[in-house]
C-alpha cells in the first residue's frame, strides 16, 4: 500500500510566521537535511497566550524569527516532542527569554555501556559530497530536561482558546510525545508521523515494537488533522496512518524473505530493499532494519548466527 505523502512544501518561506489554521502558526527553520526535509517546523498555538511546540535547532536565524513572531505575545508553555538536535536545543534559550515552563515526557534516556558500531560503507561515499554539518546529523540533545514531565493522557495545558493533551508515542525515541489540541481536533505528531517520509527507528533508544504499538494507538484516535514537525499537514489521517503502518509491516516481511534467501546481514538487506533509495539514506535505513530485526529476534522469527544480541553488523538466520 503506497503512503499518500502530502505535497511538497519547498516553497514555504523560511523565517516567516505563517498562519496555517485559525489558532496555529508555523515558523520553519532553515535546516534542510535528509532527516528534516525542508526544515523544522516550530508551531505557535494561540493568539495572545501562546504555546510553542518544538522550538527547533540552535540557529541564530531561527531564534531571530521566533523573537519576531512572538513580539507582544505571552508565551505560557514550551512543548518538546523529543530530544533530537533539530527539535529541542532552542528550548533553553526560549525558556530564559520567556520564563515559560517546558513540557515533555522526560529527558532523552542514556544507555550506559552501549557501544556504537561503525557501519560506514566506503563504497557509498560521494567524493563531491561535503561532510555533514552538525545540523544535518540526527544527533541527541542530552542537555534538555523538562520543568514538567507529562504523562500519557494528561491534559497538561489550558488557555482561553484550547487545551492540550499528552499522547505518548514511543518508537522513534523512547520519550517521544505527540500533542492533541482539542479546539481544532489536531494532533502534533513530531517525528512519529511525518508528512514527507517514514521515520527512522534507531536503536538503542528507537524501538520497533513500541513504534508499532504507538502507530496503532494513533490509528485508534479520531484526529481531523496531523501536524508533523517535518512536512505538510496530513488532512485525511486514517488512510495515511494505515498506509504508514502497513509499510512497516511489509518491510518486516521483506526482511524475513531476504534472510530466507540467504541475504543475512543488514548492509546486504538494505542494498536490496533500498536499491531505489538515495544512498545518503542507507545508513539510517540500516538502523531501522536493525530495529526490525531486534523485534523479529524477540518474536522468535529470526535468530542471530552467533547466538548473541542482535547487532548492526551481525548476521541472522530464520529461527
Has residue 89 been placed in a domain?
Answer: yes
What is this structure's pTM?
0.92
Q: Could you tell me the maximum CA-CA distance found in the chain, to the nearest angstrom? A: 63
Which pLDDT value is given to residue 130? 41
Has residue 136 been placed in a domain?
Answer: yes
Count CB-CB contacts under 10 A for residue 204: 13
Q: How far apart are CA 95 and CA 101, in angstroms?
A: 7
Alpha carbons within 13 A on the beta-carbon side of 315:
6
Strands (E), 242-315: 302-304
Q: How far apart are CA 179 and CA 160, in angstroms?
A: 18
Has residue 277 been placed in a domain?
Answer: no
What lies within 8 Å, CB to CB, of 61 at 6+ separation is 14, 15, 29, 30
What lies within 8 Å, CB to CB, of 220 at 6+ separation is none
Has residue 305 been placed in a domain?
Answer: no
User: Each residue's pLDDT tens digit in the chain (319 positions)?
Assistant: 678 887 565 557 899 999 999 999 999 999 887 777 778 999 999 999 999 999 999 999 999 999 999 999 999 999 999 999 898 999 999 999 999 999 999 988 888 767 677 666 655 554 434 444 433 456 888 889 999 999 999 999 999 999 999 999 999 999 999 999 999 999 999 999 998 888 999 999 999 999 999 999 999 999 999 999 998 899 999 999 999 999 999 999 999 999 999 999 999 999 999 998 888 889 999 999 999 999 999 999 999 999 999 999 999 999 9
Which pLDDT value is given to residue 193? 95
CATH code of 30's domain: 3.60.15.10
Report the number of distinct structural domains present in the chain.
1
Give the three cell numbers for residue 138: 540526527
Residue-range definition of the domain harbouring residue 190: 18-109+116-236
Has residue 61 been placed in a domain?
Answer: yes
Q: How far apart are CA 209 and CA 299, in angstroms?
A: 10
Q: Is the peptide bond before 107 cis (omega within 30 degrees of 0)?
A: no
Has residue 93 been placed in a domain?
Answer: yes
Q: How far apart are CA 4 and CA 174, in angstroms?
A: 27
The pair phi, psi for residue 191, each rounded to 5°, is -105, 0
Has residue 218 been placed in a domain?
Answer: yes
Has residue 28 been placed in a domain?
Answer: yes
Which pLDDT value is given to residue 83? 93
Amino acid at each position: 500500500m503506497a503512503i499518500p505523502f502530502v505535497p511538497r512544501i519547498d516553497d514555504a518561506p523560511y523565517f516567516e510566521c505563517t498562519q496555517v489554521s485559525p489558532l496555529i502558526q508555523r515558523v520553519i527553520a532553515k535546516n534542510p537535511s535528509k532527516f528534516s526535509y525542508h526544515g523544522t517546523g516550530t508551531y505557535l498555538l494561540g493568539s495572545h497566550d501562546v504555546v510553542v511546540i518544538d522550538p527547533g535547532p540552535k540557529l541564530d536565524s531561527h531564534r531571530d524569527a521566533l523573537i519576531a513572531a512572538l513580539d507582544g505575545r505571552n508565551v505560557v508553555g514550551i512543548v518538546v516532542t523529543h530530544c533530537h538536535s533539530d527539535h529541542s536545543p532552542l528550548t533553553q534559550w526560549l525558556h530564559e527569554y520567556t520564563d515559560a515552563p517546558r513540557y515533555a515526557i522526560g529527558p532523552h534516556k542514556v544507555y550506559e555501556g552501549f557501544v556504537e558500531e561503525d557501519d560506514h560503507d566506503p563504497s557509498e561515499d560521494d567524493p563531491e559530497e561535503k561532510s555533514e554539518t552538525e545540523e544535518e546529523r540526527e544527533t541527541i540533545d542530552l542537555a534538555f530536561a523538562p520543568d514538567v514531565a507529562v504523562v500519557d493522557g494528561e491534559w497538561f495545558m489550558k488557555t482561553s482558546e484550547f487545551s492540550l493533551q499528552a499522547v505518548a508515542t514511543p518508537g522513534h525515541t523512547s520519550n517521544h510525545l505527540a500533542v492533541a489540541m482539542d479546539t481544532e481536533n489536531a494532533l502534533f505528531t513530531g517525528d512519529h508521523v511525518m508528512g514527507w517520509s517514514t521515520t527512522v527507528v534507531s536503536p538503542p533508544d528507537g524501538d520497533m515494537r513500541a513504534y508499532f504499538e504507538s502507530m496503532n494507538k494513533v490509528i485508534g484516535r479520531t484526529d481531523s488533522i496531523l501536524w508533523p514537525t517535518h512536512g505538510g499537514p496530513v488532512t485525511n489521517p486514517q488512510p495515511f496512518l494505515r498506509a504508514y503502518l502497513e509499510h512497516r509491516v511489509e518491510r518486516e516481511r521483506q526482511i524475513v524473505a531476504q534472510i530466507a534467501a540467504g541475504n543475512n546481514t543488514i548492509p546486504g538487506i538494505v542494498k536490496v530493499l533500498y536499491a531505489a533509495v538515495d544512498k545518503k539514506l542507507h545508513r539510517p535505513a540500516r538502523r531501522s532494519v536493525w530495529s526490525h530485526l531486534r523485534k523479529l529476534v524477540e518474536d522468535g522469527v529470526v535468530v542471530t548466527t552467533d547466538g548473541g544480541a542482535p547487532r548492526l553488523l551481525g548476521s541472522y538466520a530464520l529461527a
